[in-house]
Amino acid sequence: MSEVWYYKGVHKVKVLMESEGYWTVGALEEFEDYVYGEKVKVKVAEQRIVPSNTVHKRKYLPLPIKEHAYELEMEKKLKKLVTEEKKKQEE
């Protein structure tokens, strides 16, 4: 395979070998990655085994993470509880 793929949609890699669920890729550029929570520097031509769902044909930026998702969810729950409490008091 001589095509350029994108690891996590951002970093250029070349797929060297495919197996069930995991692919061996060679880095075509330097980048930083996280392995078990630790930051690892990946050098050019370094080979890595990665899940096949993290390698894409096109470059893309992942969707931004919704900020304060937990706070928004808790705010909705609080509003619901307040309205329920008001209904109980009116009865």
Q: Are 51 and 67 in contact (CB under 8 A)?
A: no
- pLDDT tens for 12-56 read 999 999 998 999 999 999 999 988 889 999 999 999 999 999 998
6 vs 31: CA distance, rounded Å: 12
80 vs 39: CA distance, rounded Å: 41
Q: Are 59 and 9 in contact (CB under 8 A)?
A: yes
Whole-number mean pLDDT of the chain? Answer: 88
State the pTM of this model: 0.62
Phi-psi region of 41 (alpha: psi -120 to 50; beta: other; left: phi over 0): beta
Backbone angles phi, psi at 47, to 5 degrees: -100, 140
